[in-house]
Homo-oligomer: A and B are copies of this chain.
């Protein structure tokens, strides 16, 4: 029985698991934006958006830096890459196993015919 696991990646996934934050990330992939820009995309208050940015920031997915009286929000590629890498590694392992299973089945097939 294990208590639980690393929450560095789960935080990333949890952050992307909300439709607002997902859309924010998608938007930021097109280019940086201010908090106000992002808030204009949704039917929620800027405070709400700011809170969503808090969780994206805690997940390492975005960064905010002051710029005059606004704040420039940028997407951070590293967190995105790490999470994608984790998923791809698991997916690849599965595909490999399937490939090996296919080989075994093909062998059995051939064996069956040869008899």
Contact with B along A82-115 (1 / 0, CB 8 A): 0110011111011101100000000000000000
For the complex, what is the distance from the CA of A100 to the CA of B40, rounded to whole Å? 28
Residues of B within 8 Å of A73, CB to CB, are: none
Q: Which of A16-55 contact B (CB under 8 A)?
A: 16-20, 22-23, 25-26, 29-31, 40-43
Most B CB contacts (10 A, CB to CB) among A5, A25, A91 go to A91
Contact with B along A1-26 (1 / 0, CB 8 A): 11111010111011111111011011
- A90-B80, A91-B80, A94-B77 known; A5+B17 contact, CB < 8 A: no
30 contacts between A and B (CB under 8 A): A1-B40, A1-B42, A2-B23, A2-B41, A2-B42, A4-B20, A4-B23, A5-B22, A9-B22, A10-B18, A10-B22, A13-B13, A13-B14, A13-B15, A13-B17, A13-B22, A14-B17, A14-B18, A17-B17, A25-B90, A26-B90, A29-B93, A77-B91, A80-B90, A80-B94, A81-B87, A83-B87, A84-B84, A84-B91, A87-B87
